[in-house]
């Protein structure tokens, strides 16, 4: 069992994913400073923030719900990365690397949700 939210693999993976995404958006054109860039930043931050907030609720059901919100944010970021690639802000190679990392975060979140469901049903 995790002692802090920092122990959760999904949170750890998203921390790295967030760093990678933030690095990629640094080279977006300036006209995206008030559109796509802040949207990607908010959605990427939302992933780990929801994992942490859910952990702090001390309720399996609430934790699961916050993880579901995090999972939605992962898919939001992936969609926004498609936009970035389509607009040629990132290359297809950059997109593929980020996409793969995002799906790894999603897999870890799904695993954490399954763990929480099992813990909840054993209580």
Say which CATH number the domain at 65 has: 1.20.1440.60
Mean pLDDT of 92-105: 98
Confidence of residue 63 (pLDDT cuts 50, 70, 90): very high
Determine whether 19 is exposed, middle or buried from the number of CB atoms within 10 Å of its CB (0-12, 13-18, 19+).
exposed
Look at the chain and report how many structural domains it folds into.
1
Domain, as residue range, for 49: 5-121
Structural contact between residues 64 and 113, judged by C-beta atoms closer than 8 angstroms:
yes
**Confidence band of 2 (pLDDT split at 50, 70, 90):** confident
**Is 85:39 a contact under the CB 8 Å cutoff?**
no
Task: Tell me the pTM.
Answer: 0.95
pLDDT surpasses 90 at 90? yes
Give the pLDDT band (50/70/90) at residue 123: confident
CA angle 67, 73, 76 (to 5 degrees): 150
């Amino acid at each position: 069992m995790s002692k802090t939210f920092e122990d959760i693999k999904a949170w750890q993976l998203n921390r790295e994913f967030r760093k990678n995404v933030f690095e990629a958006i640094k080279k977006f054109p300036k006209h995206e400073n008030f559109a796509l860039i802040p949207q990607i930043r908010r959605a990427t931050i939302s992933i780990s923030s929801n994992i942490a907030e859910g952990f702090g609720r001390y309720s399996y059901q609430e934790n699961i719900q916050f993880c579901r919100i995090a999972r939605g944010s992962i898919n939001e970021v992936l969609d926004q990365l498609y936009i970035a690639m389509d607009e040629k802000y990132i290359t297809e190679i950059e997109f593929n690397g980020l996409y793969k990392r995002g799906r790894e975060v999603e897999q870890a979140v799904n695993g954490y949700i399954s763990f929480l469901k099992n813990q909840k049903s054993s209580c």
